[in-house]
Amino acid sequence: MASWVLTECGLKPLPRVYTRCRDRLESKTAFSSKIRLLQNSKSHCLSSSLRLFRGNNWALNVSVPLNTVTSVGEEYEETESVNGDDGELFDPGSPPPFNLADIRAAIPKHCWVKDPWRSMSYVVRDVAVVFGLAAVAAYFNNWIVWPLYWIAQGTMFWALFVLGHDCGHGSFSNNFNLNSLVGHILHSSILVPYHGWRISHRTHHQNHGHVENDESWHPLSEKIYKSLDDVTQKLRFTLPFPMLAYPVYLWTRSPGKKGSHYHPNSDLFVPNERKDVITSTVCWTAMVGLLVYLNFVMGPVQMLKLYGIPYWIFVMWLDAVTYLHHHGHEEKLPWYRGKEWSYLRGGLTTLDRDYGIINNIHHDIGTHVIHHLFPQIPHYHLIEATEAAKPVLGKYYREPKKSGPLPFHLLGTLIRSMKQDHYVSETGEIVYYETDPELYGPH
């Protein structure tokens, strides 16, 4: 895996070329207007092309592309800094003056080492907590304990998902069979089709930041957005409904895309992936059968309390965290299409988030920028890798707002983004979210 990443070596960092504008922008509002002008201007950069690998060697499919050529000689107008008040000028949509090899070289070598025993220790810990919480809630069985149990258990289901997610990336261990076994057990237990999701998530990582090709919470084009009926538009951007979307996405994907994560002949998969998809769908079906059986044994009300409500808490965690890692920054961040997109530039528009005490519980998935650029790094090395990479990333890394013990501050970020980030233009290779003024009124 590491040797594959090293193909980036030999690329030289980009020179920065600036053209000075006649007038300094004096406010964030003016800056946003300037950025909108930039996205419509002609650019002359050569961005990288990503080779999509599909096949049995699945671990490679979640890592960085074989070839990444960063842009050289792009000129852009000078704008005010959006990441500080030190006076340095910065355009978040400009090609960075570094490449993947530069970032990788800054990360200590031990951060790439996968320890299956350490990974399994997290599985044992989380599974023990899940069963312990269920036993305590069932023992006390009163309406003071149940709400606390639902929140705690839903969060633990989310933690199980993150460990299965690491199996899907191959960052859990170097052993395919171990990754597949643990991934199927963890994901099936929370009604996620392991291989079906793994493959679509690989597509997300390989195309992050691309308007059309991204797979997870990617922008709707203006045409697709306006083709939705009024009710669908309203529900899509009104909480809590978007935070309950994941099970629907698994069956039907996003507007404008076809296919199901359960069907081996879906557009998501190529022929040699169909056996894997069938295996995961069978495991998912077996879990559904077990839940139906437990409904008869324990009763539907008890199963709703023990499993049903925590499952929906988990879904809300998954949707919220995934959304916040790609949306809701204080300043508009670019999305790309055409020649302006590259693996590196797309990855640099992802966001780290601080979740307070939840960081440890959900395995530091909030350290998302380095995870997106190098998904083969185990979760227990992400914080160290991020700290080491920050000097290289500079202002392309956006420091997350510090959280209290619980990340209540992110609820405001989520609400604001849902009210403002509705669609992107049909044209332009660097685009920013636009707001439908008729949906919520002017902002």
- What are the structure tokens assigned to 97, written together? 């003056």
Q: How many CB atoms lie within 10 A of CB 288?
A: 12
H or E segment and range at residue 412: helix 409-420
Q: In whole angstroms, what is the distance from residue 288 CA to residue 188 CA?
A: 9
Using a pLDDT cut of 90, give the percent of the chain over it: 74
Low-confidence ranges of the chain (pLDDT < 70): 1-88, 441-443
**Residues in contact with 242: Cβ distance below 8 Å, sequence separation at least 6, in sequence order:** 235, 236, 319, 323, 418
The whole-number pLDDT of residue 88 equals 63
Sign of CA dihedral 123, 199, 70, 5: positive
**Residues in contact with 267: Cβ distance below 8 Å, sequence separation at least 6, in sequence order:** 257, 258, 259
CB 149 within 8 A of CB 133: yes
Token pair 């590196």 is found at: 344
Q: In whole angstroms, what is the distance from residue 350 CA to residue 348 CA?
A: 5
pLDDT digits (tens, 9 = 90+) for 158-216: 999 999 999 999 999 999 999 999 999 999 999 999 999 999 999 999 999 999 999 98
pTM passes above 0.75:
yes
Residue whose C-alpha is closest to residue 100's, from 436, 431, 396, 440: 396
Residue ranges of alpha helices (H) inside 194-271 are 194-206, 222-227, 230-236, 246-252
Token pair 């392991």 is found at: 194
Using a pLDDT cut of 70, give the percent of the chain over it: 79
